[in-house]
Structure 1
Amino acid sequence: MEKVIRRSANYQASIWDDDYIQSFASPYTGEKYVREAEKLKDQVKILIHETEYELDQLHLIDNVMRLGLYGHFKDQIAKMLDKIYEAQERKEKDLHFTSLKFRLLRQHGCHVPQEVFCSLMDEEGSFKACLCEDVRGLISLYEASYLSVEGESIMDLAKDFSLTHLTRRLDQITESHLKEQVRHALEVPLHWSLQKLEAKWFIQVYENSSEANLTLVELAKLEYNMVQATYQKELKRLSSYNFIWYKETGLPEKLGFVRHRLAECFMWALGLAPEPHLGYVREILTKMLVMVTIIDDIYDVYGTSEELQLFTHTIERWDINSLDSLPEYMKICFLALFNSVNKFAYHILRDQGFNVISNLRNLWAELCRAYYLEATWFHSGYVPTTDEYLNIAWISVAGPLILFCCYFTTNPIKMKELNSLEQYPGIIRWPATVVRLADDLGTSSDEMKRGDVPKSIQCYMKETGCSEEDARKHIKQLIDTALKLMNKEILMENPINNFGQTAMNVGRISLCMYQHGDGFGLPHFETKKNLVSLVVQPIPMP
């Protein structure tokens, strides 16, 4: 019998073994901290009620949101922003005030026109030169510019103007507190930052500012540490009891060629659904992402063309009686997937009365067909056009699958909404596109070295004959366009309550994961640091 020669990606082993995860411990559990937090929340509600002037209200709202406390005061904040929106008439001359108000109102879903910035522009249609001296205002304008939608030329000017002058002035700023704010803003814009990581950074920055409210600081620290304790408990459970199916099937041993990324998958889930009460959502997402990772590696690296064709047909039929035709490693993988998906569908049926098994089967079949097409491209040496690649790649990155899992677990399922989502509107398509393009920017070089299907960068280079540097610039422009479309179709139009922010979070976690390279395949650097910050290390408290 001819020996099958298989490729290997030589993935690094996970540092997050079960012994390490089970060693996590947090003191921030129990009624003592709950009572303390409730007292502090009452004090903040009084503070919100007593804050009268509009600029003070905007600062308070911004601080509460950036400190990670929005969930506790969203009703009060919504009322405050609604009043501010209804009252906005006069043209402001202050760069910081105008920018902050624009950003917060747009985050709230208000249709604030870009023309509010016209009073800050000269007769030639450029931002006034004198504004380049206002560093605080430039930061606010820069952050506001990321709330733009496609076709807003004034907002494009705002981004270019603020970015240019902040970059030029960074080394000239002597005040360390302000310099850190500029550096951080240029590294990751607030609107697209991962909420929990941003909160931890901002707590320290805000605490050391002259404007700090100590009640807000204390509540923010306590909230972060209490939620972290919840995350620890969930990850420990996933690594042991709830993931017994994962260990008993022998996936880690039998499928040694794949990435075993339980903790990193949990970080994805945490980024998508950070609220403490969404523990079940994080559990489901982690399990589905583990299976996505394993199956992706089977198609990308290990499986032969014949095996992949058989596996795809098995997924499409969703029939355990067809397992005999598969090699052992694929049998193990399919049974693990079959049991996980069916159990998930059972819980949805039990809790909501909806049978979503056919929806989930179709999503997995579609994903595997996309994987198989990309595998045939690789094995035949075919390089698709950029459009041809992107038309399949936003599906092969598992965007639709993960977003549907989010919808099934975060929203009461409604048939009209479900039918609409199955047409893959912008709330599905654009976040998935951002994941794919961010993934390509972060992983492309590593994947090409080991031999993989061409990604968007290589497709564009072959199609246009441009350099890799120019191709990367083009992909970044495509990401920028997709983010603007997300702002318009998700944030501004908010087609499905409670689901819009989850969809926006897909963009945020993907930008975070691939900001410094392949943070998922090679997770021992920034991803490790971020996971330690999110799950392991609490914020010191007196």
Structure 2
Amino acid sequence: MQRSKYLKEKVRKLILAPIEDLTEKLNLIDNIKRLGVSYHFESEIEQILQNMHNNPPPLKGKDLHTISLWFRLLRQQGYHAPSDIFDQFRDENGDFNNSLVEDVVGMLSLYEAAYFGIHGEDALDQAIHFTSRHLKSRLSTMNPNLERKASHALDYPVRKGVPRLEARYYIPMYSAEASPNDPLLELALLDFHIVQLLHKEELQHVTEWWKKLDFVTKVPFARDRVVEAYFWPLGVYYEPQYIMGRTIVGKLIAVTSAVDDTYDAYGTLEELELFTEAFRRWDASPLDPVPECMKVVFHALLDLFNEMEFLTAKEGKSCFVPYVKETFQKLGEAYLVEAKWCNQGYIPTYEEYLENGVVTSCYPLLEIASFLGLANFATKHVFDWISNVPRIVRASSIICRLTDDLSSHKFERKRVHVASAVECLMNQHRISEEEAYQILEKELDNAWKDINEECMKAEGGVPKVVLDCVVNFSSVIELVYGKFADKYTHAELLKDHVAALVVDSVHNLQNK
């Protein structure tokens, strides 16, 4: 901890040094962010980027990498950088100049920047197609470290990357280019190690809690996914100050997963109506006729809400737990709607399905629960704001619902299951599965643009840390359900990512 404190001061001096070389300063800020240590320097970074936004440096004639990085860092910080800054790299037809193909570093930076695009920025859509095509074709000609960076970015652009994992995978890439005795590299390694020890303790606590519940024996139909459940909030906020939030959300996901499985794969319609009634009242009396395992799930949830109230009372935030309980009641109602559709063999319209699916994605619930752990940022204003499912939360929930459906609908068709977004579109518009996929991919692109737009709105008084939570939930779903693979249900697909964060030592990572 002493060494870490010393290194932080050395890095702080680098950040605050006068800007003599714009590209150097932008690279420094980007590296600090990508190495996962920016939480130590938030005010310093904010001050520099705010100045760059209010007093833009002369960018005309600068190289593609510098301009792209300036644009991306500002947008990442919530500032509106103009996208027409890239017009200087396009010809009279509006196409990007072919000469850019030789500038691989510049193309990679433009590719990363373009994912921060909003509606109507066709140049950035075009930039993604242009850069991804040329980066893929040139991978074999790049030096090993640049190839590693480009390959990773093509899979997980910075905008959609899970911050803690991105830091883990960026450390060896940065190490390959860092000078000997680089204080930033040493700080990144040390900080990752220190914080990882905290995460291990948290996971141990959550795992012991889960074992005591004994769902494996008492609720055998439910997925046993406590480690994956903890991985979720770890992906949303990894910083030491969010320990309570990670614990609450990790436990909530584990129990909510069992609730989902009860509606989805176990209860009869009559039992599920009683189950939902118990949530409406927060009272177990309607559950007298239902199987014991359903009562176990309900009581586990009730106990968890009591624990939330106890934990948040220490910070004077227990008054916000009712917001979470109310959101859970809405989730139970939405699950019941799906159960009725399934029971009747009814295939809703896509619009009808999505309206209910925003709720059954669980993201309105998990995001509002995550805010309980935000200390001073957990205010009545923030909880009132999210309770109305604002545009950014709706977009995040759509990303969750549709990415989940794209990954799991073929598996779910093998048993009795409510129609997914894919089947709803195919049935409603009499189109092929491939055409339905194309529509949903476009919906996902639009949802990310909604998120990008909402992150650049200064009005509303919602702190950046709150918006970042919503963004990171969207990134986690891209990892867990992206590329048409349900890594939560088929947890072996997530194993390496989990190990990278809470098992594997970081000490020798820079040598890999």
Query: How far does the alpha carbon of each residue in 1:381-413 deviate from its partner, in whole angstroms, 9 at most, with x for none?
Result: 111111111111110011111111112221444
Which residue of structure 2 aligns with residue 441 of structure 1?
406
Equivalent residues of 2:118, 2:452 under 8 A apart:
yes
Which residue of structure 2 aligns with residue 489 of structure 1?
454
Q: Which amino acid in 2 is paired with 1:467?
A: S
Stretches of structure 2 lacking an aligned partner (at least 5 in a row) = none
Q: Structure 1 residues 258-267 or 452-461, which shifts more?
A: 452-461
Q: Which amino acid in 1 is paired with 2:357?
A: A
1:105-120 matches, within 5 Å, as 105-120=74-89
Tell me whether 1:389 sits opposite 2:353 in the alignment.
yes
Equivalent residues of 1:206, 1:212 under 8 A apart:
no
Tell me whether 1:274 sits opposite 2:243 in the alignment.
no
Return the match for 1:238 from 189, 194, 206. 206
Which residue of structure 2 aligns with residue 295 of structure 1?
259
Which residue of structure 2 aligns with residue 362 of structure 1?
326
Structure 2 distance, partners of 1:318, 1:168, is: 58
Structure 1 distance, partners of 2:28, 2:317, is: 42
Return the match for 1:52 from 13, 20, 42. 20
Equivalent residues of 1:266, 1:286 under 8 A apart:
yes
Give the 3-state SS of the residue equivalent to 1:123 in structure 2: coil
Query: How far does the alpha carbon of each residue in 1:143-197 deviate from its partner, in whole angstroms, 9 at most, with x for none?
Result: 00011111212211222221222223234x1422222222111111111101111
Instruction: Go from structure 1 to structure 2 and tell me whether the alpha carbon gap of 1:156 and 1:493 turns closer, same or farther (over 3 Å shift).
Output: farther
Return the match for 2:9 from 34, 38, 42. 42
1:6-405 matches, within 5 Å, as 34-50=1-17, 52-88=20-56, 90-93=58-61, 94-171=63-140, 173-209=141-177, 214-240=182-208, 243=209, 246-352=210-316, 354-405=318-369
Structure 1 distance, partners of 2:104, 2:213, is: 57
Q: Which amino acid in 2 is paired with 1:298?
A: T
Query: How far does the alpha carbon of each residue in 1:254-279 deviate from its partner, in whole angstroms, 9 at most, with x for none?
Result: 11111011000000010112112211
- Provide the aligned length of Structure 1 versus Structure 2: 503
Which residue of structure 2 aligns with residue 430 of structure 1?
395
Structure 2 distance, partners of 1:137, 1:58, is: 14
Structure 2 distance, partners of 1:442, 1:306, is: 30
Instruction: Go from structure 1 to structure 2 and tell me whether the alpha carbon gap of 1:361 and 1:69 turns closer, same or farther (over 3 Å shift).
Output: closer
Query: How far does the alpha carbon of each residue in 1:339-386 deviate from its partner, in whole angstroms, 9 at most, with x for none?
Result: 211331344345326534542332121101111111111121111111
TM-score by length of 2: 0.94
Instruction: Go from structure 1 to structure 2 and tell me whether the alpha carbon gap of 1:513 and 1:493 turns closer, same or farther (over 3 Å shift).
Output: farther
Structure 1 distance, partners of 2:129, 2:142, is: 23
Structure 2 distance, partners of 1:213, 1:102, is: 30
Return the match for 1:465 from 401, 405, 430. 430
Query: How far does the alpha carbon of each residue in 1:193-223 deviate from its partner, in whole angstroms, 9 at most, with x for none?
Result: 0111111111101111266772211111111
Equivalent residues of 1:272, 1:505 under 8 A apart:
yes
Which residue of structure 2 aligns with residue 18 of structure 1?
none
Give the 3-state SS of the residue equivalent to 1:202 in structure 2: helix
Equivalent residues of 1:491, 1:500 under 8 A apart:
no
Structure 2 distance, partners of 1:443, 1:355, is: 37
Structure 2 distance, partners of 1:248, 1:196, is: 29
Give the 3-state SS of the residue equivalent to 2:241 in structure 1: coil
Stretches of structure 1 lacking an aligned partner (at least 5 in a row) = 1-33
Instruction: Go from structure 1 to structure 2 and tell me whether the alpha carbon gap of 1:533 and 1:89 turns closer, same or farther (over 3 Å shift).
Output: closer
Q: Structure 1 vs Structure 2: percent identity of aligned residues?
A: 32
Q: Structure 1 residues 290-299 or 463-472, which shifts more?
A: 463-472
Q: Which amino acid in 1 is paired with 2:431?
A: C
Equivalent residues of 2:114, 2:124 under 8 A apart:
yes
Equivalent residues of 1:106, 1:492 under 8 A apart:
no
Q: Tell me how far 1:320 sits from its aligned partner.
A: 2.7
Q: Which amino acid in 2 is paired with 1:278?
A: Y
Give the 3-state SS of the residue equivalent to 1:384 in structure 2: coil
Root-mean-square deviation (CA, aligned residues, Å) is 1.9
Instruction: Go from structure 1 to structure 2 and tell me whether the alpha carbon gap of 1:316 and 1:224 turns closer, same or farther (over 3 Å shift).
Output: same
Q: Which amino acid in 2 is paired with 1:182?
A: A
Equivalent residues of 1:426, 1:490 under 8 A apart:
no
Give the 3-state SS of the residue equivalent to 2:413 in structure 1: helix
Which residue of structure 2 aligns with residue 521 of structure 1?
489
Q: Structure 1 residues 325-334 or 310-319, which shifts more?
A: 325-334
Structure 1 distance, partners of 2:196, 2:165, is: 12
Equivalent residues of 1:349, 1:356 under 8 A apart:
no
Instruction: Go from structure 1 to structure 2 and tell me whether the alpha carbon gap of 1:375 and 1:363 turns closer, same or farther (over 3 Å shift).
Output: same
Instruction: Go from structure 1 to structure 2 and tell me whether the alpha carbon gap of 1:435 and 1:353 turns closer, same or farther (over 3 Å shift).
Output: closer
Which residue of structure 1 aligns with residue 473 of structure 2?
506
Structure 1 distance, partners of 2:198, 2:237, is: 13
TM-score by length of 1: 0.89
